[in-house]
Structure 1
C-alpha cells in the first residue's frame, strides 16, 4: 500500500539511522577520551571502583612526597651523627696521646676544646625543615618533643576504613647527642671520673661490682699504721692500726697493686660475710675491702671535660672509658638511622610500584580498547552511510505516487 501520509519504510530507516548515530557518538566519545567507562551511566560499579582507587592513588602520591621529606630528615641526622663520630674518634685519640709521659696536657686540651665546640656546631646544624634529631628536649619535654616519625603508607582495609601508617622513631638518651633542657644526651650526660682513687672490682655474694675507692701509697699506709702504734711490714700485703684481737674490730689496709693500698676491715673467719676476702693474716682473720671509703670524683661529660698537667693517669683512664662508651652509643644510633633510611628507600620503591599497579588495575576496568573502538568506528560510519541512503530511497518512494496521476 502506498501512502503520502505514512511512510513506513522511511520511519524504519530513520529509526535505524538514529540508533547508528547514537552508537557512533558513544564510540567517538570513547576514542576521544580513551575511556570505556567515562561516567556512572556507562557502568556504575566500575565507575565507583575506579573513582575510589583514583582517590587512593592521589593519597599515595602525597605519601611519596612525605617519604621524600622524611628521607631528607633522616639523611640530615645520619650525616650529622657520622660527622660527630669522627670528631669523638679524634678526641679519643687526643686523650690516648695525653697518657704518654712528659706530654703537655694543656696543649692537648686546646685541641680537645676546639673539637668539643665542633660537636656542638654539628648537632645544632643538623636540622631539616625545623626538625633536629641530634639535639632535643629530653628532660621535662613533651611527647611531641621526642616522638618522631615518617609517613610510610596510606591503607584502605576490607571494611573500607582508611588510615595512614608511619615509621616511628623516638628520640632518647641513646640516640640524641645533646639534651637542650638537661644533660641526658650522649655527649652531655655526666660521668663520675675518679681522681686519685682506684677502681676495684669486689665480689659480694656472687655479684661483682666496681667501686671507686680512695687509694693510698705505701708511705701513707706506713705513716698511718706506725703513727697509731702498729707495726708495718713493707713487704707484706696487710697493715693495720690496731692489732688483731679476735674481736673483729681491727681496721687497716690491704695491698692491691704496686704502691697501691685501699682501706680494709678485719673479719672473723667464722663469721665472715659474703664479700670477697682479699687477704688473711697470721691470726686467721680475713680482710675485706672497705667499700665505704670512696674516693673523690668529678662529674664530666664528653662535650665539657678538661685536662691539664695535673690530670692523673686514673682520671685519663676514666675519661677514655667515658669517651669510648659515648662512641659506642653514637655508633649504635648511626646504625638505627641507617636502617631507617634503608627502610624508607624500600618503602618509596614499594609505593611507586603500588601506584603503578593501581593505575593498571583502573585501566583494565575503564580504559577503552582503541583497536576495537577504531574498528567499530569504521563499521558504524559505513552503517551510517547505508542508513542515510536507505532513508533517501524510502523518502523518494512517495514521489513515485505522482506517476499514477499522469
Structure 2
C-alpha cells in the first residue's frame, strides 16, 4: 500500500538514522575523553570502583609526600648519629693516648674539650623541619620515651575500612644523645652523652675517721712494680715500703695494691685509715691526697688532668666505649628505618601505578576499537541518509500515476 499521508519507509529510515547518530555521539564522546565509562550512566559498577580507587590513589600520593618528609627526618638523625660516632671514636683514642706514662694529659684534655663541643654542635644541627631526634627533652635523669612516627601507607581492607599505617621510632635514653631537660646544677641528663656514670676515683676506697665521723674516700692506688720503680724499700713483713719518690712511704692494702702514706709526725691532722678489716695504725693518710668516693662523669662533660690516674682513665674509656656501643645500636636502628622507608616509598610508587593500570582496564576506551566503530557508523550514516532520501522520493513517484 502506498500512501501520501503515512510514509512508513521514510519513518523506518529516519529511525535508523537517529540510532546511528546516537551511536556516533557515544563513540565520539569516548574518543574525545578517552573513557569507555565516563559517568555512572555508562556503567554504574565500574564507575563506582574507579571513583573509589582514584580517591585511594590520591591518598597514596599524599603518603609518598609524607614518606619523603619522614625519610628526610630519619636521614638527618642518621647522619648526625654517624658523625657523633666518629667524634666519640676520637675521644676514645685520646683517652687511650692519655693512659701512657709521661704524656701531657692537660694538652689531651684540650683536644677532648674541642671534641666534646663538636658533639654538642652536631646534636644541635641535626634538625629537619623543626624536629631534632638527637636532642630531646627527656627530663633530667628520667626514663621518658617519646615516639616519633612516619606515615608508611594507606590501607583499605576487604570490608572497606581505611587506615593509615606508620613507621615508629622511639626517642629515649638509648637513642637520644643529649637531654634538653638536663639538671642545670650538674649538667647530667638522660641522654647517651650526658648521662652520669660513677667513676672509680683512684681504685682504693678508704674509710677515714674525721672528728669521730667516718667518711669514704678514694685514694691513689699503686702496684708493687710501681712502688719498686719509685725506689721504695720494703720492711721485713713486706707490708710497708719506705722512701722513694712520690711519697714518704707506701702501705700495702691488698694484693699488688699499695697506697701512699706519710709519717704521723709529719702531718698536722693525725688520722687512721681503715681498709677493710685492717687498720693502718703505723701511718697516717695524707688527707690532701684523698677525694670523695662517688665521682661522676659523662662522655660530653668529663675532664682529665695530670692528677687523673690510669684507673680513672680506664673507667672513662669503659664509659666512652659503652656510649659508643649504644650509639652504634641506635645508628643501626635509624639505618634500618631509613631502608624500610625507601622500600615503602618504592612499593607505594608501584602500587599507585598498578591501581592506575587496573582502573584504566575498567574505564578506558580502546581507541583502535572506537576508531573502527566510528568509521563503520559514518558509513552506516551515509547509507541511512541515502535510504531516507529514497523513501522521501516515494511520494513524488505517486504523481506519475496521475499524469
Tell whether the structures are fold-level matches, with TM greater than 0.5: yes
Secondary structure of 1:167's match?
A: strand
C-alpha distance after superposition, 1:310-336 (max 9, x if no partner) = 111111111111111111111111100
C-alpha distance after superposition, 1:111-166 (max 9, x if no partner) = 11111111000000000001111111112799998210110000001111111000
The structural deviation recorded for 1:295 is 6.7
Per the alignment, residue 332 of structure 1 pairs with 329
CA distance in 2, matches of 1:6, 1:381: 28
CA 1:91 to 1:61, structure 2 compared with 1: closer, same or farther past 3 Å? same
Per the alignment, residue 306 of structure 2 pairs with 309
The structural deviation recorded for 1:198 is 4.3
CA 1:369 to 1:46, structure 2 compared with 1: closer, same or farther past 3 Å? same
CA 1:97 to 1:144, structure 2 compared with 1: closer, same or farther past 3 Å? closer
Q: Is the 8 A contact 2:177 2:191 kept in 1?
A: yes
Secondary structure of 2:399's match?
A: helix
The structural deviation recorded for 1:56 is 0.2
C-alpha distance after superposition, 1:155-192 (max 9, x if no partner) = 00111111100001110111110010020000000111
Matched, 1:235 2:242: no
The structural deviation recorded for 1:374 is 1.1
The structural deviation recorded for 1:254 is 5.8
Between Structure 1 and Structure 2, how many residues are aligned? Answer: 341
Q: Is the 8 A contact 2:252 2:258 kept in 1?
A: no
CA distance in 2, matches of 1:138, 1:21: 75
CA distance in 2, matches of 1:374, 1:50: 24
CA distance in 1, matches of 2:90, 2:259: 32
Give the TM-score normalised by the residue count of structure 1: 0.79
Matched, 1:185 2:195: no
Q: Is the 8 A contact 2:221 2:257 kept in 1?
A: no
Q: Is the 8 A contact 2:9 2:391 kept in 1?
A: yes
Q: Is the 8 A contact 2:146 2:172 kept in 1?
A: yes
Per the alignment, residue 288 of structure 1 pairs with none
Per the alignment, residue 259 of structure 1 pairs with 258
CA 1:387 to 1:214, structure 2 compared with 1: closer, same or farther past 3 Å? same
CA 1:141 to 1:322, structure 2 compared with 1: closer, same or farther past 3 Å? closer
Secondary structure of 2:393's match?
A: helix
CA distance in 2, matches of 1:305, 1:70: 35
Secondary structure of 2:390's match?
A: helix
CA distance in 1, matches of 2:50, 2:141: 46
CA distance in 1, matches of 2:142, 2:368: 62
Matched, 1:76 2:73: no
Q: Is the 8 A contact 1:87 1:115 kept in 2?
A: yes
CA distance in 2, matches of 1:404, 1:23: 40
Q: 1:194 aligns with which of 197, 200, 214?
A: 200
Q: Could you list the runs of 5+ residues in structure 1 that have no partner in the other structure?
A: 200-211, 220-231, 238-251, 267-293
The structural deviation recorded for 1:235 is 3.4
Per the alignment, residue 169 of structure 1 pairs with 169
CA 1:27 to 1:143, structure 2 compared with 1: closer, same or farther past 3 Å? farther
Per the alignment, residue 271 of structure 1 pairs with none
Per the alignment, residue 389 of structure 2 pairs with 392
CA distance in 2, matches of 1:143, 1:54: 45
The structural deviation recorded for 1:259 is 2.9
Per the alignment, residue 103 of structure 1 pairs with 103
CA distance in 1, matches of 2:196, 2:77: 23
Secondary structure of 1:259's match?
A: strand
The structural deviation recorded for 1:369 is 1.2
The structural deviation recorded for 1:255 is 1.9
Per the alignment, residue 282 of structure 2 pairs with none
Matched, 1:5 2:5: yes
Per the alignment, residue 398 of structure 2 pairs with 401
CA distance in 1, matches of 2:13, 2:393: 12
> What RMSD in Å do the two structures reach over aligned CA positions?
2.7
Per the alignment, residue 284 of structure 2 pairs with none
